[in-house]
Chain A
């Protein structure tokens, strides 16, 4: 198992390197002098020179690139241009919030999406099928901030069931859940949409397979034919779709955190954008790249659990 993980990580290195390179050069095509952009027109020449020195802008581009890769290899994401604190520290402080939100929405996606997709496939054209269509439309086409704003208006402002600011400050588990509910639902609907879609089409395919007929021919009750024989096979495409869309989930978690004023990676990014803190922005892109690579490896591990053909070739 460890060898398998090591191998997958090794294979991810070229992609990771590509992403890091892309981010590095993107941030360096900023038109004009980054120091000037950060400090503004009124900055003194000494301050500008100071900042250039600190950012390593005086060195040749290639040296900067090697320094950058070396720092990342050591787990150093650099320092914020505005607060001068290590980005890693700020990031780690709020990372649990983002992970909590992502996992909660993943859970909502599975708990809501799998049964809905199965029922939609078993009774095509039935109520569940229509519900599945509507949920897919909402989750796949509405921007996360729009659905977030509407949820906020309805349930936090109009009905006052949930807090407007979903900062999980309090240690009380119930308060924490109440703060998590709306953001997790907002993000969860997107996941439900993906999971429902793939479950429905996967089930339609599975139910037409020979092994389903075999199961029925040996007298397996209809309920178990669906939930055991067919669904087990659909777990494979479900895992695939979740793995493929974790990037989408991460992108939308940024938006959700902003709408619900939740401390998290999204907040760091928006602050960095507003203060033109390119160092933080660059560091956050690196964090996302790593997050995606890690989730891809996790996806492959889960494959081994749901598809016996992976672990026993």
Chain B
């Protein structure tokens, strides 16, 4: 009898994984999202070769010029090429979005696993601090942090990571607690594994799926915060091109030529739509309650 039981358990787990990935692959929405994101990443990485002009070179023509054959998206108030600035701006947005999310994911999940694993006072303190951070509007908190630390690429990433971390702490803590319910952890202890080994070899891989799904949704939030900070004037300082920064500049000349504000806005919208298509697709695919 026992060989039969073994085959049953073995064949039982892979299908969910296969169907998860096949569901992602077959969803046209997710495919579109992936295609757009891939294009954006290629543009960002190859910006120095793809951008038609130096993004910071001034006086290429009449200030605030309309789109033309030479400058597809026109010129800004310093006579810089808007298309080139948007392509270079993608670098900042994507970099900040990915790095800040990864940082929040790593640090937040670690803290969350520790809280859920040890419980007791450690858990209570971490939960209290998380609640305090979460009781504040994420945007306002990011704003305050950057204002205090000073606007630089590193500080912006740091500030966004801090605002994003509590969500990962909560998720990882909850999932770890759920695993403790399943006697997973006690079994590991009984086998004499060290705390570190149980937490990072046994617990972490099991909650990775959820964390990655949430991470994919947070990249969009991080980019949104980055561009918002830049719009308020707390972005990577000029002359560096950022999408939020270009909109801020275009906003000053809204009555003269609003296209300067519209083009980077569209760049943000396209990025947001693409990331949300991927994030929603991932979430639907991993959600056991989702319709097949």
| A residues in contact (CB < 8 Å) with B | 14-15, 18-19, 22-23, 26-27, 29-31, 137, 140-146, 149-150, 152-153, 157, 164, 247-248, 250-252, 254-255, 258-259, 269-270, 273-274, 278, 281, 285, 288-289, 292-293
Contact = CB atoms under 8 A, between A and B. Distances in A.
Interface in B121-174: 128-129, 131-133, 135-140, 143-145, 147-150
Contacts of A144: 228
Contacts of B131: 15, 18
Given A15-B131, A145-B231, A153-B261, A292 B137 contact: yes
B272 A292 contact: no
Given A137-B273, A153-B254, A15 B144 contact: no
Given A157-B254, A251-B137, A150 B144 contact: no
4 nearest CB pairs, A to B: A251-B139, A251-B137, A18-B132, A247-B137
A76 to B, nearest CB: 20
B269 A146 contact: yes
B62 to A, nearest CB: 20
Given A137-B273, A143-B227, A251-B138, 11 more contacts: A18-B135, A141-B273, A141-B276, A143-B272, A146-B247, A149-B261, A153-B258, A248-B137, A270-B232, A288-B136, A288-B137
A281 B144 contact: yes
What's the dominant secondary structure at chain A's contact region? Answer: helix
Contacts of A152: 254
A288 B135 CA distance: 10
Given A15-B132, A153-B258, A281-B147, A251 B233 contact: no
B222 to A, nearest CB: 12
Nearest to A272: B147
Nearest to A137: B276
17 contacts: A19-B136, A23-B144, A143-B227, A145-B244, A146-B227, A146-B268, A153-B262, A157-B254, A164-B254, A247-B136, A248-B138, A251-B140, A270-B232, A270-B233, A281-B147, A288-B136, A293-B135
A141 B220 contact: yes
Nearest to B131: A15
A84 B58 CA distance: 40
A19 B139 CA distance: 15
A281 B251 CA distance: 24
Most chain-A Cβ atoms within 10 A of its Cβ — which of B150, B233, B254? Answer: B254
Given A141-B275, A145-B231, A273-B234, A292 B136 contact: yes
Contacts of A289: 135-136
What's the dominant secondary structure at chain B's contact region? Answer: helix
B140 A288 contact: yes
Contacts of A31: 149-150
> Which of under 10, 10 to 19, 20 to 34, or 35 or more describes the interface residues of B?
35 or more
A292 B276 CA distance: 28
A290 B231 CA distance: 26
Given A19-B132, A140-B276, A164-B255, A150 B148 contact: no
B234 A149 contact: no
B265 interface: yes
B108 to A, nearest CB: 17
Contact of B135 (A15, A269, A278): A15
Contacts of A29: 148-149
B261 A143 contact: no
A140 B273 CA distance: 10
B224 interface: yes
A52 B136 CA distance: 29
A285 B135 CA distance: 12
Given A141-B220, A149-B261, A250-B140, A255 B269 contact: no
B105 to A, nearest CB: 19
B148 A274 contact: no
A23 B137 CA distance: 13
Contacts of B232: 255, 258, 270, 273
A284 to B, nearest CB: 8
B265 A254 contact: no
A286 to B, nearest CB: 11
Interface string B213-248: 000000010001001100111100000000010010
Nearest to B128: A18
Contacts of B150: 31
